[in-house]
Amino acid sequence: MTTDTAAKKDIQKLQRAIIDGLEDVKAQDIVVFNTEHLSPLFERIMIASGTSNRQTKALAASVRDAVRDAGFPKPRMEGEENGEWIIVDCGQAVVHVMQPVIRQYYHLEDLWGDTPIRLKFGADKPAAPAPKVRAAPAKPVASIKRSSAAKQGVMEAYPSKAQVKKTAAKKAVAGKAPAKSAGKPAGKKVAAKAARPVAKAASARPAPVRKPATRKS
């Protein structure tokens, strides 16, 4: 591998690490310019916006950590105290993290914007294919009929408790209903109840009045 190819891969790797660090904290309006022909000190100028001092500081810290995790030396940082404009010097690339008002005022794009670079945002990971779901084979009609008949046979051979109680109740009702109407004679209570109206009727009749006997002179 030649020196130029290795250097090109290094700058691309560094550029990718910086962009990932900016995206992790939701940086706005990220732009990258190739400055190889403009300065021998660095090859990339990168500009991004943060909406507040807190976000610009978080963006600069995220870039520093991402570059260090990618295997490059720890970047130098300037302007952290103010937070309006923070410069992260990553060696071959310099990152300007600015608030929108400051960025619009200085407009660094006019100074370094001769050769913009198209960016690919997000991770370059291939999407995982969706798992294939196999449909269950449909049962033929004959097997469905056989299974329902077998199920019915099992239910008849091994009835549940509710079915046993229901069958016993039906048999009891069918056997006891005629016996009640034609079998046992009426008891004492029934005879007494039947005799009460007769006694009452007999007691309600008035006794015959007897006329006094007359004496013969």
The angle subtended at Cα 49 by Cα 45 and Cα 54, nearest 5°, is 120
What counts of helices (H) and strands (E) characterise the chain? 7, 5
Q: What is the pLDDT of residue 5?
A: 81
How far is Cα 149 from Cα 135, in angstroms, rounded to an integer?
26
Per-residue pLDDT of the chain (217 residues; tens, 9 = 90+): 567 788 888 999 999 999 999 999 999 999 999 998 888 889 999 999 999 999 999 999 999 999 999 999 999 999 999 999 999 999 999 999 999 999 999 999 988 887 788 876 665 444 445 455 565 555 555 555 555 555 555 455 555 666 667 777 777 666 654 444 444 444 555 445 544 554 444 455 555 556 555 555 4
- What is the Cα 26 distance to its own chain's centre? 27
**What are the boundaries of each domain within the chain?**
8-112
Q: What is the pLDDT of residue 25?
A: 95
Q: What is the pLDDT of residue 113?
A: 80
Q: What is the pLDDT of residue 162?
A: 67
Q: What is the pLDDT of residue 30?
A: 95
- Going by C-alpha positions, the residue among 56, 61, 108 that lies closest to residue 82 is 56
Question: Does 8-112 carry CATH code 3.40.50.620?
Answer: no
Structure tokens at 17: 């690490």
Predicted structure pTM score: 0.55
Q: What is the pLDDT of residue 174?
A: 65
Helix H, strand E, coil C: the string for 148-204 is: HHHHHHHHHHCCCHHHHHHHHHHHHHHHHHHHHHHCCCCCHHHHHHHHHHHHHHHHH
Q: What is the pLDDT of residue 206?
A: 56
The angle subtended at Cα 4 by Cα 125 and Cα 126, nearest 5°, is 5
What is the three-class DSSP state of 55? helix
